[in-house]
Amino acid sequence: GQAEMWITKCLVGQSEWSEYFPDCGGTSQSPVDVVTTQTKYDPSLKPVTPLGYSQHGNNPFTIYNNGHTVVIELPDWMGLGGLPWLFTAVQMHLHWGSGGPSHGGSEHTINGLSADAELHVVHYNSELYTDLSAAMTQRNGLAVLGILIETGEEANPAFDNILNYLSRVRHADQKVSIPAFDIQLLLPEDLGRYYRYNGSLTTPPCHQSVLWTLFHQRVQISKRIFLTFSLIELIKLM
C-alpha cells in the first residue's frame, strides 16, 4: 500500500545510506536538533489545524508492524490546514528507543534533549499531487507532524488506543484492526507553538520533501504502558 512506502525495508547501515540513496547525503536532512536560540519567530505562520481528526467514523483503523516501526493507517478524510496547501492524512507511526524510558527514543531533539518516543503523523499535498507516491519525491510534497512523547506516572487514554494492541503486532508483517478513535487527542493541547522547517524522510530513501512541524509541547504516557514497546520485534535501521 501507499503507506508502506514511507519507510523503505532496507538493511543498509546508516553510514552507507547515501551510497544507495543519494538524497540521504542532501543538505535538508531530518531529523534535526532544534536549538531554540537559533530559531526565528515568523508571524506569518498560522496554528496547525487538524481537519477531521475527531471524525473517525465507524470503520476500524488498521495497525501493522512493517519491520521498522508500528504504523496506523488513517482515512483520507483526515487532513491538515493552516499550511500553504491542503494536505491529506495517510498514516502515523512511532519511533522509540530500545533502552526504555529516559534513554532518548525520539528522532528530533530540542536543545540537545531527546524525548522517550516520537509520533509522526504523515500527510501528502493533495492540492498538487494525486497520492503519496507522487508527492513523496517532490519539495513540499509531504507534511509531517512531530509529537515528542515523555513518560511519567499519568496515564494517557488516547495513546492506550494504540498501545493496548501492540502485543498483537509484535512481529514484522503482522496486521490487525483496532477500533477507530479520536486522533486529535494524541496531539498536544498547544498547537500554536511549534518549530517549522523543510526537511526529509528520516529513513531511506531520505527524499527532501517534508514540511516538518515539530510541536514544542510534549505529551505524556505512563511508564508502564511505554514498556509495551519492548515487546515489538523490529529490524533496526542501524
CATH of residue 138's domain is 3.10.200.10
Is the residue at 237 inside a domain?
no
Pair 63, 176: CB distance under 8 Å: yes
Q: Let me know: does 153 contact 220? Beta carbons within 8 Å.
A: no
Q: Which of 56, 68, 93, 123 is catalytic?
A: 68
Residue 107 within any structural domain of the chain: yes
Cell 502515523 sits on residue: 92
The answer to whether 68 is a known catalytic residue is yes
Q: Is residue 167 part of a domain?
A: yes
37 falls within a domain: no
- Is 127 within a domain? yes
Q: Is residue 34 part of a domain?
A: no
Q: How many domains does the chain have?
A: 1
Tens digit of each residue's pLDDT, the chain (238 residues): 433 333 333 333 344 433 433 444 444 455 778 888 998 998 888 889 999 999 878 899 999 998 888 999 999 999 999 999 999 999 999 988 765 555 578 888 889 999 999 999 999 999 999 998 998 888 888 999 999 999 998 889 999 999 889 989 999 999 999 999 999 999 999 999 999 887 655 555 455 678 889 999 999 999 888 888 877 876 544 3
Residue 42 counted as domain residue: no
Q: Could you tell me if residue 85 is inside a domain?
A: yes
Range of the domain at 87: 2-28+47-231
Question: pTM for this structure?
Answer: 0.84
Question: How many angstroms separate the CA atoms of 12 and 90, rounded?
Answer: 26
| Of 238, 228, 191, 223, nearest in space to 94 by CA | 228
